[in-house]
Chains A and B, each alone.
Chain A
Amino acid sequence: MASKKTAQKTLSLAPVLDLNEATALHEKLLALKGSDIVIDASAVERVGTLCVQVLMAGAKTWEEDHLSFTFSKVSDAFEKTTQLIGVEIDHLMAKEI
């Protein structure tokens, strides 16, 4: 457990996750591969489909690697956008904070 804890990385998302941010987000996630990851989406004001795709691809990748990929906090805008486009993130929400 201790080793897992030290390996856990946190990624805070930018307020605006639009087309331009998708590539940057992709690179950031790739750089964090191999560690448990906690995504902080509390600052997100706007998120586009592309960034949601990147995040979901990340979740899929982490799952294949048997590592944990969770959202610690999500903003209202983030949550509503994902709901709007039918992307389920409930199972990725941190269960205990």
Chain B
Amino acid sequence: MDMNEIKEIFFQECEEQLAELESGLLKLNDGDRDPETVNAVFRAVHSIKGGAGAFGLDDLVSFAHVFETTLDCVRSNRLDPGPEVLKVMLKSADVLADLTNAARDGGSVDGARSRQLIKELEALANGEVPPASAAPVEPVVKPVAAAAPPPVNDEGFQPVAFSFDDFDAPEEPPLMEMPVYDIVFKPKSDLYAKGNEATLLLRDLSRLGEMSIHCDMGALPTLDRLSPESAYFFWKISLATDKGEDAIRTVFEFAEWDCDLEISLVSDETAPSGEELPMQPVPFDLSILDDEPAVSVGVVEEEEQLAAQQRDIRNAAVSAAGTASNVLQMAQSATRAPTEKPAPAAASAAAQSAAAQQAAASAGTPTIRVDLDRVDRLINLVGELVINQAMLSQSVVENDTNGTSSINMGLEELQQLTREIQDSVMAIRAQPVKPVFQRMSRIVREIADMTGKSVRLITEGENTEVDKTVIDKLAEPLTHMIRNAVDHGLETPEKRLAAGKSAEGTVRLTAKHRSGRIVIELADDGAGINREKVRQKAIDNDLIAADANLSDEEIDNLIFHAGFSTADKISDISGRGVGMDVVKRSIQALGGRINISSKPGHGSVFIMSLPLTLAVLDGMVVTVANQTLVVPLTAIVETLQPEASAIHSFGSNQRLISIRNSFCPLVDVGRILNFRGTQANPVEGVALLVESEGGGQRALMVDAIQGQRQVVIKSLEANYTHVPGIAAATILGDGRVALILDVDAIVAASRGQSLKPEMSLAAVG
């Protein structure tokens, strides 16, 4: 694995951390004061800083560092995360994301913005805390003066790789204001003879806090006079920890008879006694010492201890538990437990529970990262498999095996299997919409800032899953719509107050599954659409005739027309007149529909309905004028065989069908698609009752139903060109291409009785 791959993984992790950071901050913003939330936020920034340090991404490190410092003030309850503080922090999260992106893609960032935020963050860290901890990093730095990294905002800040493991410890203390202890540790030869190991003791010690160490080798003789199993080294240690002297003594608990130990507390003012000594800081990742070989230490020691004294058995418990990484807290509690007569079982119990904890930690979400190309290839192949299986079924039917049950049963099983495979494969690519929604919260913040409005974004159903291809294409239209909602939809705080609303506007973004589609709603509580203004604008732009009689819904839908903008002046944010028509087109390209409903004074709701996947579709295969078409099953409410008595003519060439005492317009699909010139006789065909997104039911006339099956969607746009009224194509079992009907387009066209691009406007204008 080369450096670039590692770096790529780092950036992927950064994305996760940034998402974590943002959702944590938003939780805090909503009043969540759970210390775990604060810790999660802190960890996210800390991890990014640590990783960035390893790659020498200095900009990122220095910003993350300042951010982290401020977050630490929150973590240690020295800074209350009020709305103003969180505003700065959310902005900082955005800048951190920008810096991360810039580091990955080599782009540039707004230096002024990040400098400004650094100032604000530092002000938060300094201004609202007592002077003793005004520069929170310093107390940590002091005791290790010899190796002190430069202070917070120094350009030459030196990143140190850091063990993130320890941050999993739930009671991880803030790193500042910690007392510093000077420790002199002189092992006797017996210590080693009894199977103790100074390295393990020192490792456990280093986990209590920030540690610097000096090894005194003065007693070390030359090789010929050396007794290899005697103790010559001794250590002077400076340790900053808030866990107290007892915790330090606990580390040495089982070795105290075999060593000389002096522990003294150093006050902040007095220089550490070890200052003149060349102290080595020990803030590096020690997890490597916990790896597999170290586990065997525990085992070996355990074996040794079986024959040894109780004291040593307890020691094995320490080292066994200590060897499992991430379980520092546990190891300590195990050793602190006042076990006067620890049974040998204690050792294995500690080891076991340590392992269990480790397993639990890793069993959380076992995931792997897979290249999307590989998944796509798999999905394509499964698509081919489905087509092939259909072809096989067809040829068996055609060759008429007289219904030999074994072949038919085998085929049925194959069909079920392929179906299951397909579902599973699609599930691989299904992802929650959360990342897209999270991006929106940033956009809301930025637009709110630019427009001087106060906006609250509420997201719901962000764990709703949808195919990744859909998610990827969702971000752009959604961004447009959010911008519009904040810029045009919501009023200024003054106007809101005047209208008797709260000054803070609300934008609600909701995702949910509904009958095999994902429905995304974007609602604002703004002024709603000013229909008079829209209408006037449309007349001015020659979109509609001055005397056109339009329903409210039709007026609302005018905003989806190209070149339409109601904003009086064109702003930076939206209102360039390329907004909603682009949105509508991208949604349509996804096989989706978009609708608006608006209540003057109460706001607007945009409802998007999108397919869950762009790869397969459950459809009803029908015949229309000798052509095979596929109607998406999700659109069909019911099918029925019309009787002559139920058909009623209406107007010049409209027909209605009476279903359970209500009338429903009859739409001749063959006519709309120009498959035939004359109207088909409804009695000879089948009516499919469909529900269209615009509301209301229509009965689609087709000649016959062939069956129901899952079809693999092949894009018509990509392979041919867009055909009005047709959503896509598929390949049938007999190898022929069948067109998939765009039910909404057909229904919309039925109003105007012809199929043209922009049919809804053709109908309106």
Interface residues of A (CB under 8 A from B): 15-16, 18-19, 22-23, 25-26, 29-30, 33, 45-50, 52-54, 56-58, 60-61, 64, 76-77, 80-81, 83-88
Contacts and interface: CB of A to CB of B under 8 A. Distances in A.
Contacts of B187: 49
B543 interface: no
A80 B152 CA distance: 27
Nearest to A48: B197
Lowest 9 CB-CB distances: which A-B pairs, in order?
A: A86-B215, A86-B213, A45-B293, A26-B228, A61-B223, A22-B228, A49-B198, A61-B222, A57-B226
A45 B323 CA distance: 14
Given A46-B294, A49-B192, A53-B233, A86 B214 contact: yes
B57 interface: no
B233 A81 contact: no
A30 B223 contact: yes
Interface in B186-221: 187, 192-193, 195, 197-199, 202-203, 206, 213-215, 217, 220-221
B714 to A, nearest CB: 52
A46 B228 contact: no
Contacts of B278: 88
B223 A33 contact: yes
Contact of B280 (A52, A54, A83): A83
A95 to B, nearest CB: 21
Given A16-B293, A49-B198, 11 more contacts: A23-B229, A30-B223, A49-B192, A50-B229, A57-B221, A60-B222, A77-B293, A80-B288, A85-B215, A85-B235, A86-B235
B222 A57 contact: yes
B224 interface: yes
B162 interface: no
A45 B221 CA distance: 26
Interface string B217-250: 1001111101011011101000000000000000
Nearest to A76: B288
Contacts of B192: 19, 48-50
A60 B232 CA distance: 13
B284 A83 contact: yes
B282 A83 contact: yes
A85 B202 contact: yes
Contacts of A22: 228-229
Contacts of B217: 56, 87
Contacts of B206: 84
B286 interface: yes
Given A22-B228, A53-B232, A84 B220 contact: no
Most buried by A among B187, B224, B289: B289
Interface string B254-290: 0000000000000000000000001110101110110
14 contacts: A18-B197, A25-B228, A33-B224, A45-B293, A47-B199, A48-B197, A48-B198, A49-B199, A53-B231, A57-B220, A61-B224, A84-B289, A85-B199, A86-B213
Nearest to A47: B199
B220 A53 contact: yes
B578 interface: no
A60 B226 CA distance: 11
Nearest to B194: A19
Nearest to A75: B288
A57 B223 contact: yes
Given A53-B226, A86-B280, A48 B199 contact: yes
Nearest to B189: A50
Given A56-B220, A61-B223, A84 B203 contact: yes
A29 B223 contact: yes
A88 B280 contact: yes
B211 to A, nearest CB: 9
Contacts of A23: 228-229
Contacts of A52: 233
A19 B235 contact: no
B297 interface: yes
A87 B235 CA distance: 10
A87 B280 CA distance: 8
B371 to A, nearest CB: 29
A76 to B, nearest CB: 5
A77 B296 CA distance: 15
B301 to A, nearest CB: 10
Nearest to A60: B222
Contacts of A58: 223
Interface in B171-187: 187
Contact of A49 (B193, B233, B300): B233
B142 to A, nearest CB: 19
A22 B228 CA distance: 6
A59 to B, nearest CB: 9
B288 A77 contact: yes
Interface in B522-574: none
Most buried by A among B203, B215, B296: B215
Contacts of B228: 22-23, 25-26, 50, 53-54
A30 to B, nearest CB: 6
B192 to A, nearest CB: 5
Contact of B220 (A33, A60, A85): A60
Contacts of A61: 222-224
A84 B213 contact: yes
Contacts of B222: 57, 60-61, 64
Contacts of B284: 80, 83
Contacts of A80: 284-286, 288-289
Nearest to B226: A57
B202 A84 contact: yes
Contacts of B214: 86
Contacts of B294: 46
A57 B199 CA distance: 18
Nearest to A52: B233
Given A50-B192, A56-B217, A86-B215, A81 B223 contact: no
Contacts of A29: 223
Nearest to A46: B293
A93 B223 CA distance: 20
Most buried by A among B187, B221, B223: B223
Contacts of B195: 19
Given A22-B228, A46-B294, A77-B293, A85 B233 contact: yes
Contacts of A86: 213-215, 235, 279-280, 282
A33 B297 CA distance: 31
Given A22-B229, A26-B228, A49-B198, A81 B289 contact: yes
B204 to A, nearest CB: 11
A61 B285 CA distance: 32
A26 B289 contact: no
Interface in B294-318: 294, 296-297, 300
Interface in B562-597: none
Nearest to A77: B288
Contacts of B285: 80
